[in-house]
A = this chain, B = another copy of it.
Amino acid sequence: MRVLITGAAGLIGGALRGALTGHELCGLDVRTVDGFDSAVGDISDMGAIRPAFEGVDAVVHLAASPSSSAPWESVIGNNIVGTYNVFEAARQAGVGRVVFASSNHVTGMYERDEPYASIVAGRYEGLEPGGYATIDHRVPIRPDGYYGVSKQYGESLGRYYFEEHGMEFACLRIGSVNRRDSPLVGVRAFATWCSHRDLAQLVQRSLDAEALGFEIFYGVSGNRWRFWDIERARERVGYSPKDDAERYRGS
């Protein structure tokens, strides 16, 4: 397949460009990407990006204001209008499948409740890893900011495009991905870290699964203290994370 990565110049775009296999990759970003077949355009401008979708079979949609605390003024153009433009350009080009970078911030407010509040603060006393309910694709959404609202809107728009137009979607509620590719950036990451290779595996399997339909998966490594569900991704696309933040503890 020819796979278009929006936001190809970004952090996750960089991690995926070097990791996805078996497909012809191309990109779209507001910046050029050295040594990579990538168009330049802003997703908030439909006319500017539409040509990049010609001949594309699948889209990995990463382009967005990436901060969970992004202000409304940034989110409306980049994440809300931009995601419509990407899905609609994909539909017009006959794209059959979209892997959409949603976010754990769609359900971020659960971290104000126990036991998640303790876990993200590193207070494990009296808790057993896995001895609590995981947050999965079926729980009521509880976005923790405009960014989370915008990502949930993208899931909702994807659901409509799936049911109305038959485009398949994997909406990935991605956890903590960072440039160092390490959970040693803060205590929360021992629960929420997603390594580059685990995320690449989840994207790869979402692209390659024979029948996908519409799915919402959490993108998180196999961390000892994770509280997001990975069973759904395991069942539907065979996701099998290789990393566990716990191995870094004390290192």
CA distance A146 to B76 in the complex (A): 16
**A interface, CB within 8 angstroms of B:** 72, 76, 80-81, 84, 88, 109, 112, 138, 140-146, 148-149, 152-153, 156-157, 159-160, 163-164
A42 shortest CB reach to chain B, Å: 16
- Residues of chain B contacted by A80 (CB below 8 angstroms): 76, 80
Alpha-carbon separation in the docked complex, A157 to B142 (Å): 9
What is the bound-complex CA distance between A161 and B84, given in angstroms? Answer: 24
CB pair B138–A159 under 8 Å, yes or no, is no
Copies of this protein chain in the complex: 2
Among A72, A109, A141, A159, find the residue whose CB has the most chain B CB atoms closer than 10 A.
A159
* Residue ID in chain B nearest A153 by CB atoms: B153
A164 to B164, CA, bound (A): 34
6 A–B contacts from the bound complex (CB under 8 Å) = A109-B159, A138-B140, A143-B156, A143-B160, A145-B160, A152-B153
Separation of A84 and B76 alpha carbons in the complex (Å): 10
Q: Looking across the interface, which residue of chain B has its beta carbon closest to that of A157?
A: B149
Q: Are the CB atoms of B72 and A76 closer together than 8 Å?
A: no
The distance from the CB of A162 to the nearest CB of chain B, in whole angstroms, is 9
- Chain B residues with CB under 8 Å of A157's CB are 149
Q: A76-B84, A80-B80, A84-B76 are in contact. Are A153 and B149 (CB under 8 A)?
A: yes
Set of chain B residues within 8 Å of A149, measured between Cβ atoms: 153, 156-157, 160
Report Cα–Cα, A159/B144, bound state, in Å. Answer: 9
Give the docked Cα–Cα distance between A88 and B112 (Å): 23
Considering only CB atoms, which chain B residue lies closest to A75 in the complex?
B84
Inside 8 A of A145's CB, which chain B residues have their CB?
Answer: 160, 164
Could you tell me the distance between the alpha carbons of A152 and B149 in the complex, rounded to whole angstroms? 10
Q: How far is the CB of A147 from chain B (nearest CB, A)?
A: 10
Q: A156-B143, A157-B149 are in contact. Are A81 and B88 (CB under 8 A)?
A: no
Contact (Cβ within 8 A) A152 B156: yes
| Nearest 8 interchain pairs by C-beta | A153-B153, A109-B163, A143-B160, A152-B156, A149-B156, A149-B157, A149-B160, A143-B156
